[in-house]
Chains A and B, each alone.
Chain A
Amino acid sequence: AQSVAQPEDQVNVAEGNPLTVKCTYSVSGNPYLFWYVQYPNRGLQFLLKYITGDNLVKGSYGFEAEFNKSQTSFHLKKPSALVSDSALYFCAVRDTGGATNKLIFGTGTLLAVQP
């Protein structure tokens, strides 16, 4: 079955420190991978995507993610966290079973950045 796992419900980091939010996936074929961010009572906002090409993908607000095919991972990273980065982060992968663009989402990771 195709799936996305975000193993940490919450990640705590001090402002100015690097942050990593983990994501692993399981799909058949080549994955299309995405990260979204959600602020309270808001919709999801696109951060970055991996479709093909360089394994290191740069996105919005200074975030980046590294695609690792052998480990089936797509971890989200930022060199220096800001308090304003505190939000809920979702990893997603395109469902490759069928002619659709359905996305399968992880359960989300709450990032808390302490001042």
Chain B
Amino acid sequence: DGGITQSPKYLFRKEGQNVTLSCEQNLNHDAMYWYRQDPGQGLRLIYYSQIVNDFQKGDIAEGYSVSREKKESFPLTVTSAQKNPTAFYLCASSLPPGTAFGGYTFGSGTRLTVV
């Protein structure tokens, strides 16, 4: 079955560490997205990519970095510059603009906690 896999499910980060969250999809979707979810704030867009080797900042990109070297993969690095990284991180994918866009398919999320 096609879908999106996020790993790990739970991640603990020490102060000053960089950590990388994995997102892999086998839906053949061109577009991929990273959102951060905090209680009461809904989903906020961190980065998105519409095609391999290209990505754009979202609304809260500071302290985060991404890469898109393969169509299937869109890893997110939470750097030490992100001062409040504790949150639930969601990866999603979709068809690109100009196609029959039916919304996003989401992964099951990674819960990141600073210890």
Q: Residues on A close to B: CB < 8 A?
A: 9, 32, 34, 36, 41-46, 49, 51, 90, 92, 94, 99-103, 105-108
Contacts and interface: CB of A to CB of B under 8 A. Distances in A.
B25 interface: no
B108 A100 contact: no
A105 B48 contact: no
A94 B106 contact: no
Contacts, number: 61
B42 interface: yes
Given A101-B95, A102-B45, A107 B108 contact: no
A103 B48 contact: no
Contacts of A49: 102-103
Given A99-B98, A101-B96, 15 more contacts: A42-B109, A43-B6, A43-B107, A43-B108, A44-B90, A44-B92, A45-B106, A49-B102, A49-B103, A94-B101, A99-B97, A100-B31, A101-B101, A102-B58, A105-B43
Interface of B: 4, 6, 31, 33, 35, 40-43, 45, 48, 50, 56, 58, 88, 90, 92, 94-98, 101-109, 111
Contact of B111 (A41, A51, A102, A107): A41
